[in-house]
A = this chain, B = another copy of it.
Amino acid sequence: MDAELSLMPSMLSRGFEEAEFVMRLKNAQALMAAQGVSGLLLMSEPEVRYFTGFHTLFWQSPTRPWFVYVPVDGKPVAIIPEIGADLMRKTWIEDIRSWSAPAPQDDGISLLTELLTPLANAKAGLGIMKGHETGLRMPLGDWERLTKALPGLEIIDVTGLVQGLRMVKSEAELEKLRHICAIGSATFARVPEIAGNGFPLEEVFREFRRLALATGADDVPYLVGGAGPGGYTDVISPPSRRPLENGDVLMLDTGCTWDGYYCDFDRNWAIGHAGDPAKRAHDVLWRATDAGIVAARPGNTCSDVFHAMSRVLAELGDAGGDIGRLGHGLGMQLTEQPSLAGFERKVLEENMVLTIEPSVSYGDELMMVHEENIIVRSGGAELITARAPSELPVL
């Protein structure tokens, strides 16, 4: 179960061969045909990138909408602001329709109307993602105008179709995920250089980001954590300036990226010495993680993995239910489908990438989290993070 960690970026190429996009398109079109969907209208960063390879940080600006239309036959069409047309031309997409954005009166809506009118006239089905874990990355008012202009169009929720495709990773995607998890692991291994008694938490965060970059991460979009006497109380805070003190438990949870793919895992340390309640919580979490890794096999459901972990967590009288789940999918997004939750009956498939992420409450409103990243394989999970030590390490 040991991860073979590789930090050789020169061995890995960025982006994907065109065959990867051909395969993604073919898989999507087979499902679309089976489900009576004539086209997909996609507008969020990971979906646009999934079908086109268009990769830019420009999505950070909320000003401009971006659209990709995936027809049931033929290649995707990009309907995008002019500022992105040059970069889109470097992808495999040929049909690129652009406008000078921002244009509040018509931010792509007339281009979309023109494109979709034949579908509306044919009373065909247009797939939109409108379900769990989605948002509408265009103004709601523009969406209302667009659908009003296309009254014949049948809107079909394709959340499951698209998430289902993205959940199962290709070998090329797995290489990128292994690489960024190796970078994350190597960064965590160097935390003793940047944290300990007297180090302000804010500086630990800053130096962690710098270490991750030096280790090969392109970016560290996500870094949260906590520290406090005997434990921490929440897991999504930005850092305080308070210096770490002997007796603290420190947790860092990071989503680093390489070529647009995330790792997402955390580590805990005791500062100076570890108290018994924290040691006990760490031990239970470590064994719950093991149980989750073992249960993460093709054919088992997400709920099965959740319950495998919950049974161990129950030793502390806590099933970890408050934060809703004990792990999730991982890929182009920090958190993706599926959820490792009691309600989730999805069956695991080979080449899904998951976080195994049990959490417990203990003591006086303290909590502890623990997380590893795995690939679901027929022969058992492939661990792609360097497994945390079984005992809470002391800095």
- A108-140 vs B, Cβ < 8 Å mask (1 yes, 0 no): 000000000000000000001011111111111
Tell me the complex Cα distance, A36–B59, Å: 34
- Check B141–A130 contact: CB distance below 8 A: yes
Contact (A135, B139) CB under 8 Å given A100-B324, A214-B210, A238-B55: yes
Chain B residues near A55: list those with CB within 8 A: 238
Residue of B107, B131, B221, B235 near A139 (CB, 8 A) is: B131
Chain B residues near A64: list those with CB within 8 A: 324
List the one stretch of A17-25, A269-277, A288-296, A332-340 in contact with chain B: A332-340
- Check A141–B133 contact: CB distance below 8 A: no
Tell me the complex Cα distance, A255–B143, Å: 29
Tell me the complex Cα distance, A64–B333, Å: 13
Chain B residues near A144: list those with CB within 8 A: 130
Of residues A64, A101, A134, A324, which shows the largest number of chain B Cβ atoms within 10 Å of its Cβ? A324
Enumerate A46-93 residues with CB–CB distance to B below 8 Å. 55-58, 60-64, 81-84, 86-87
- Check B139–A138 contact: CB distance below 8 A: no
- Check B139–A134 contact: CB distance below 8 A: yes
Tell me the complex Cα distance, A133–B222, Å: 24
Number of copies: 2
Enumerate A213-227 residues with CB–CB distance to B below 8 Å. 213-214, 218-224
A234 CB within 8 Å of chain B: yes
Tell me the complex Cα distance, A322–B222, Å: 33
Chain B residues near A8: list those with CB within 8 A: none
- Check B83–A323 contact: CB distance below 8 A: yes
- A227-245 vs B, Cβ < 8 Å mask (1 yes, 0 no): 0000001111110000000
A299 CB within 8 Å of chain B: no
Q: State the A residues within 8 Å of B (CB).
A: 55-58, 60-64, 81-84, 86-87, 100-105, 107, 128, 130-141, 143-144, 157, 159, 205-206, 209-210, 213-214, 218-224, 233-238, 255, 321-325, 328, 333-335, 339, 341, 343
Chain B residues near A103: list those with CB within 8 A: 324, 343
- Check A221–B224 contact: CB distance below 8 A: no
- Check B236–A102 contact: CB distance below 8 A: no
Given contacts A62-B335, A130-B140, 10 further A-B contacts (CB under 8 A): A60-B222, A61-B333, A62-B133, A64-B324, A81-B323, A83-B234, A100-B324, A102-B132, A104-B343, A210-B214
Q: Within the complex, what minimum Cβ distance (angstroms) separates A217 from chain B?
A: 9
Of residues A107, A144, A222, which shows the largest number of chain B Cβ atoms within 10 Å of its Cβ? A222
- Check A135–B132 contact: CB distance below 8 A: no
- Check A333–B100 contact: CB distance below 8 A: no
- Check A63–B335 contact: CB distance below 8 A: yes
Chain B, Cβ-Cβ closest to A144: B130
Q: Within the complex, what minimum Cβ distance (angstroms) separates A184 from chain B?
A: 15
- Check A56–B224 contact: CB distance below 8 A: yes
- Check A221–B131 contact: CB distance below 8 A: no
Chain B, Cβ-Cβ closest to A339: B102
Chain B residues near A131: list those with CB within 8 A: 104, 139, 141
